[in-house]
Structure 1
Amino acid sequence: MAHQPQIKIAATYMRGGTSKGVFFRLQDLPEAAQVPGAARDALLMRVIGSPDPYGKQIDGMGGATSSTSKTVIIAKSSRPDHDVDYLFGQVSIDKAFVDWSGNCGNLSAAVGPFAISAGLVDPSRIPRDGVATVRIWQANIGKTIIGHVPMTNGAVQETGDFELDGVTFPAAEVQLEFMDPAAEEEGAGGSMFPTGNLVDDLEVPGVGTLKATMINAGIPTIFVDAESIGYKGTELQDAINSDEKALAMFETIRAYGALRMGLIRHLDEIATRQHTPKVAFVAKPADYVASSGKRIGAGDVDLLVRAMSMGKLHHAMMGTAAVAIGTAAAISGTLVNLAAGGGAKKSVRFGHPSGTLRVGAEASESGGEWTVTKAIMSRSARVLMEGWVRVPQER
């Protein structure tokens, strides 16, 4: 009986923030997959185990959630003042496509550590002890990320006492700076607020007219008030992910928001970009119990945020959405800012399903246009496994 032999590809399985993904050096991929296209997408889907009609990704490295169905390709950068180019692929679980439309802020924390360990950063730029500064070009959105990676005895330090809600064990802190994070999305004119407004009336058939802040920062995000869609902002995953009607409502909001933001031209195009834009709902501080059982008090946070990712409520918070939260919070008058009490904000701590997270942003206004020079947050990263991933050879 004819059979396909398996090929093996050097790969590293890493956790970054509250996500996990399979990391590759561009040079280690099969030649056909070293360039964008069908061969690359097919390879990454097979690595992750998609498309899977069972929704489990049993025959691959994926974990059957948006947080664990991810791939990363890293290469030495040809751009001046950058060390590496970072390309992120969000692999659909049950459909046959890879979404390249945005970044993963959580896995961004693992890019610097991976690049150093993989020999992609000039050794002269890496201290034996201290903090290595890795200059990352985020190729999906054309932005710079600065990763500050702790080093001990000439190696990346992965263990430590930094605790990140949504991650079980403490690790070493990796600080990230997302430079000029306003996303330059096609159709959005490079504007942070593509509609020109801090708050819009967004008409959503079957839902109503919602107040919405639609922002391109970190990742295109549509913010609405929790109360306007029947929620409190204290919800955990089961409250929404087990409710098909709710999931359909959020997808409808996402589609009409994407259309209003100029990210799509027709509603049916939303099916081809599951990764962006995100939908999030905000509320004023309140007491709740996080998914770990940890009690979060209203006095512990500035606001509450819940966000949808790949059609489901995220178990914590996407890193890129955290950038959007920090940016919107820094700008007086947005729904995020108002939920946090209004006024000038250089940083906020928000409550999410797994706990809390602090994010900061530096915002300024000139001639009616808002700009943000950078957003800052801390994550952690760790190698889980390294070696080779195996996939059946294409005929």
Structure 2
Amino acid sequence: MNSAQRQVGIPAVYMRGGSSKGVFFLSEDLPTDPLARDAVLLRVIGSPDPYEKQLDGMGGATSSTSKIVVVGKSRRPGCDVEYWFGQVAIDRPLVDWSGNCGNLTSAVGPFAIRKGLVDAPRDGVAVVTLWQANVQKRIVAHVPMRDGEVQELGDFELDGVTFPAAEIRLEYLDLGADDNVRDAGAAMFPTGNTTDVLSVPDVGEVTVTLINAGNPAVFIAAETLGLSGAESPEDLNKDAALLARFEAIRAHGAVAMGLAESVEYASLKRQHTPKIAFFGRPASYMSSSGKPVRAEDIDLLARIVSMGKLHHAMTGTGAVAIAAAAAIPGTVVNKILGDVKTSIRFGHPSGTLAVGAYTQQTAEGWSVSKAVMSRSARRLMEGSVLIPQP
């Protein structure tokens, strides 16, 4: 290594969005070559790190904090900005661009306004239409404004986030198959079924819902693996054998959805999507913050595994897919609920979350015209990130 090598700065903003945080860039500030871009982003985050700490980068050593968002002005009619989301693996040189992050989506509108990519009213609410380039879908963000600035602080509380902030409402539009699953069959259900049975070695036959709404996902009942749905990340993430069973089911689901050519490819190259989530009937439990969650206050229990670990709260796109599954007869979620529901509140490890979806059935199959949920976002640091000169 040349001892005279210098560091270079890249303009960036470090932001929290929902219960995740990541480094935000303008597309013009990164290399156009995908390989060179990914090399830069891996170094920014501090991956790959065999110690799994990401001490020499901006990553936080969890799936929720090892993320990148690249934003630019959109040329697509009816859209203001477009953005790419990259899930950065911690222990290997991989930036997975296969899906979206619903939590960080809440920060894209505020970032775009501050960078001058869109006009916003001095006071009131800025309506910003986003084009999610990973999954080729429109999302509308309602961003509060005050005195010509994005209103970041407020009294909206989001379980999984310590401090309150200003509420940002997100509307996910026309959910269904993205370009990644277009050849796999029906729009929302790639196999054409609301439930399927997967034959997974060392696990057995598993009944699942394979759904594509927000992000592709594999849904199973908690009891399938002898669970209740009220498990904590601290307990489940210590069970390597159980996590391996989840990954095996997820990888087989990826193949069944047409997202991966093999289970090996799904595990090595497509870790971000599909997600795998499990569900149980309402039960009381203690959230990770010590706040009790009462069975009578929720419709079901929900837990989601992200990048091989149980998520500390709930992914935003996971919440969207749960809302869609709740509103469609015959899905794993619908069967646990026992009824079709267009709005639900579910319990996750950090508390509860309310989501809603408007679904419709046509000759082509099921679709979601709109799914709605609220998040918040805040700048944590802005300026430049530094990496060794490539």
Quote the offset at 1:256 in angstroms: 0.9
The answer to whether 1:9 aligns with 2:10 is yes
Return the letter of the residue paired with 1:299: E
Give 1:247's aligned amino acid. L
Instruction: State whether residues 305 and 351 of structure 1, in contact with CA within 8 Å, keep that contact through their aligned partners in structure 2.
Output: yes
1:66-215 matches, cutoff 5 A: 66-121=63-118, 123=119, 126-184=120-178, 185-186=180-181, 187-189=183-185, 191-215=187-211
* Offset, 1:368: 6.6
Distance in 2 separating the partners of 1:3 and 1:195:
56
The alignment status of 1:24 with 2:25, answered yes or no, reads yes
Q: Report SS of the residue matched to 1:361.
A: strand
Does the CA-based 8 Å contact 2:185-2:191 persist in structure 1?
no
SS of 1:338's equivalent in the other structure is helix
Task: Specify the alignment match of 1:253 in structure 2.
Answer: 249
Aligned twin of 1:388:
384
| Preserved contact between residue 72 and residue 82 of structure 2 (Cα < 8 Å) | yes
Report the CA distance between 1:314 and its aligned residue: 0.3
Give the structure 1 partner of residue 314 of structure 2: 317
Partner amino acid, structure 2, of 1:341 = G
The yes-or-no answer on 1:278 pairing with 2:275 is yes
Match of 2:38 among 37, 41, 51: 41
Larger displacement relative to structure 2 (238-247 or 17-26): 238-247
Structure 1 counterpart of 2:300: 303
User: Deviation per CA, 1:16-72, whole angstroms, max 9, x where unpaired?
Assistant: 00000000111222xxx1x25110000000000000000000000000000000001
Q: Unaligned stretches of 5+ in structure 1?
A: none
**1:159 Cα deviation after fit:** 0.4
Amino acid at match of 1:327: A
Say whether 1:361 aligns with 2:331: no
Contact 1:302–1:341, Cα closer than 8 Å, also in 2: no
Contact 2:186 2:364 in 1 (8 A): no
Aligned letter for 1:354? S
| CA gap 1:36/1:353 in 2 versus in 1, 3 angstroms | farther
Matched to 1:319, the amino acid is G
Counterparts of 2:370 and 2:150, CA distance in 1: 25
Q: Distance in 1 between matches of 2:123 and 2:338?
A: 42
Does the 8 A contact of 2:185 with 2:192 survive in 1? no
Q: CA deviation at 1:323?
A: 0.7
User: Matched residues in 2 for 1:39 and 1:183: separation?
Assistant: 30
Cα offset for 1:109? 0.2
| Letter paired with 1:163 | E
Q: TM-score, normalised by structure 2?
A: 0.97
CA contact (8 A) 2:172 2:372 kept: yes
Matched residue of 1:370: which SS? strand
SS of residue in 2 equivalent to 1:276: coil
2:333 corresponding residue in structure 1: 336
**Runs of 4+ in structure 1 over 6 Å off:** none
AA at the equivalent of 1:67: S
Secondary structure of 2:184's counterpart equals: coil
CA distance in 1, matches of 2:264, 2:15: 34
- Size of the alignment, in residue pairs? 386
Secondary structure in 2 aligned to 1:201? strand
| Deviation for aligned residue 1:223 | 0.5
> For 2:217, which of 217, 221, 229 is the aligned residue?
221
SS of the residue corresponding to residue 175 of structure 2 reads coil
In the TM superposition, residue 219 of structure 1 has moved relative to its aligned partner by 0.6
**SS of corresponding position for 1:180:** strand
CA contact (8 A) 2:68 2:85 kept: yes
Q: Write the letter of the residue equivalent to 1:136.
A: L
Are 1:183 and 1:219, in contact at CA under 8 Å, matched by a contact in 2?
Answer: no
